[in-house]
Structure 1
Amino acid sequence: MPQIVGKQIGPVGYGLMGLTWRPNPPSEEQAFQAMRAALANGCNFWNGGEFYGTPEFNSLTLLEKYFTKYPEDADKVVISIKGGLGANLAPDGSPENVRRSVDTCLKLLNGKKKLDIFECARVDKNTPIEITLKVLDEEYVKTGKIGGIALSEISAATVEKAAKATKIVAAEVEVSLWATDIFSNGVAEACARHSIPVVAYSPIGRGMLSGQITKPEDIPDGDFRKTIPRFQGENFAKNLELVRELEKIAKKSGCTPAQLAISWVKSLSKKDGNPEIIPIPGASNPARVEENARDVHLSQEDTTEIDSILKSFTVVGGRYGGHAAAHIEG
């Protein structure tokens, strides 16, 4: 199992996004049950965001309440929080905004838990990353205010620049059966070269690979996925073909499609020169957490069949659309 900021991490982490950033987030009680289930199942790497939710109810406010109620869990969990966005959620890696963002996160945690990792959610094209990292390293890591610095949605070139500037403890990027970009754009190779673990967000394809989304109408109004090209019109119908093929393999393997998707991401860790890869599926109820955490072994026959499907299938539509697409590297 990998170690991040000096702590051992389970093979599967836990994404907090769905607990606070959706049209109808779960109740605080249900959110706490899901978080407790995550820790009970060894998912001790928790990933959230300063902007996941409203100023009154977001990842940090939820974590502060959770660790107030369960203080004994604070040292068991490694939390990684994305921030560093400015007006209109645009990347702002300026020293002033980075300080504002980290200080806000620390204030919201209210001393209930250390901010183990901070990561700027996107790369600011107007501020050299070396300047951003210098502030984080000298003013926050070296003073003990945060445990380490991670990267998010970066190119291979940014990984190289960052690794030369300071110690990078993780790189968060989208990885799933329908998002394999890091294995062709140099990001996985760069992370492996610098021994940087990859934190794989959306390993179930934002829910699409679970097989429970069968038509665009299954996505509620106001849901962020409505803006993503992969979930729209003809793209949706085409991409559903991939899901149907994967469902057949899951059925033969005696697991759910979601378990197949997560297990496939886990199987890539340290394989063929890859870095350590930690999937961070999200779930809002204990049953789904337990499903995602279950260790499913994929046979050589399974992986060969999956590889064959991926080689013959091209996912259509971008990972992000509109404003969000403009801030993606890689």
Structure 2
Amino acid sequence: MARPAALTTIAGKAVGPVGFGLMSLTRPWAPLEYPAAAEVMKSALDRGANFWNGGIFYGPPHANSLQLLKYYFNKHPEDADKVVLCIKGAYDAKTHQPDGSPEGIRASVGEALRVLDGVKIDVFECARVDPAVPIETSVGALAELVKEGKIGGIGLSEVNANTIRRAHAVHPIAAVEVEMSLFTTDPLTNGVADTCHELGIPLVAYSPIGRGMLTGDLRKPDDVAANDMRQFLSRFQPGAFEQNFKLVEAAERIAERHGATVAQLAIAWVRRQGAIPIPGCTKVERVVENCQDVPLTEHDLDEIRALLQTLPVAGQRYGGPFEKLLNL
């Protein structure tokens, strides 16, 4: 059965059933010019996708998602109060190490506020849990920033159920962000989704279309561009790709029955798990596609559940040292 619908408020502000991830607009290997990116963002907001997820490390230091957001709100100041803005930070993009110390968190929030220059951060998330710092210490530092009015709420990213409970005991958590898609169902079995629903914490799902695999545009390993970071991810490697594409083909057949795309099916499935999907895209037509719901039936959900059991996913989510920072 489907889980309860995702909560509709984050940090005291109403959010739509689908959000928007900014990472795809600032990819170092294929950045989008700001005017075109702003058009995509405007289209998302106009369709109710008002939960925007950015990061200090999404893109190079001189052109990351913060600079893009500042550009957008300079162009559309009337939209500042319409967007629920979530920013990830406290993470060194050069060393790929989190810094959950009070000093590191305060410095990261300060840098984000400096670049945004007046744009309010509704939720701030440490991008990953710092294994060297107790979560109570990190959340305590963020709670001080909430009291000071520098951020509206506290989010968690890539955490396990026990960490959610420990963090929530220190300060109410505004949102928990985890990867969730037909390729990554871990939150549904490791207690994360259940804990969020029990505590009344909105669950936010990044990569709901499997980093593009569930668009149907990638049908063989060679379809991934040579300069695309997915070339380095194990699920896109020859051998694993072909195994994983079996799930795409099976999902396509269900989507066809609804006159929908496989991406729409994938996003609808995430919504039925009680999460807010935050797909990213670089074209207005993709925004339109992603915001159209598919009315999945219990029969559809049962069929998808059977597919997930019979078509195992090959490869880790990130691989290497990045995998060690997941579900902490």
Return the TM-score normalized by structure 2: 0.95
Q: C-alpha distance in 1, partners of 2:155/2:321?
A: 23
Aligned with 2:152: secondary structure?
Answer: strand
Aligned with 2:295: secondary structure?
Answer: coil
Q: C-alpha distance in 1, partners of 2:227/2:164?
A: 34
Match of 1:48 in 2: 54
Deviates more, 1:218-227 or 1:7-16: 218-227
Q: Percent identity?
A: 50
Match of 2:71 in 1: 65
Match of 2:164 in 1: 159
Query: RMSD in angstroms over aligned alpha carbons?
Result: 1.1
Counterpart code for 1:88: T
Of 210, 215, 222 in structure 1, the residue corresponding to residue 215 of structure 2 is 210
Q: Which runs of 5+ in 1 are unaligned?
A: 270-276
Shift of 1:21: 2.0
Counterparts of residues 58-207 of structure 1 (less than 5 Å): 58-86=64-92, 88-111=95-118, 113-138=119-144, 140-207=145-212
Distance 1:67 1:11, change over 3 A: same
Deviates more, 1:22-31 or 1:102-111: 22-31
Counterpart code for 1:75: D
* Alignment size in residue pairs: 321
Shift of 1:195: 1.0
Shift of 1:223: 2.1
Q: C-alpha distance in 2, partners of 1:96/1:145?
A: 15
Shift of 1:150: 0.2
Return the TM-score normalized by structure 1: 0.95
Q: C-alpha distance in 2, partners of 1:18/1:241?
A: 25
Aligned with 1:101: secondary structure?
Answer: helix
Q: Which runs of 5+ in 2 are unaligned?
A: 1-6
Match of 1:274 in 2: none
Shift of 1:22: 4.0
Shift of 1:227: 2.0
Shift of 1:326: 2.1
Is 1:250 the counterpart of 2:250? The answer is no
The answer (yes or no) to whether the contact 1:22–1:223 under 8 Å persists in 2 is no
Cα shift readout 1:153-200 (whole Å, capped 9, x = no counterpart): 011111111011111000000111111001111111221221111100
Divergent runs of 4+, >3 A: none
Deviates more, 1:312-321 or 1:40-49: 312-321
Counterpart code for 2:160: S
The answer (yes or no) to whether the contact 1:203–1:265 under 8 Å persists in 2 is yes
Q: C-alpha distance in 2, partners of 1:215/1:92?
A: 38
Deviates more, 1:176-185 or 1:318-327: 318-327
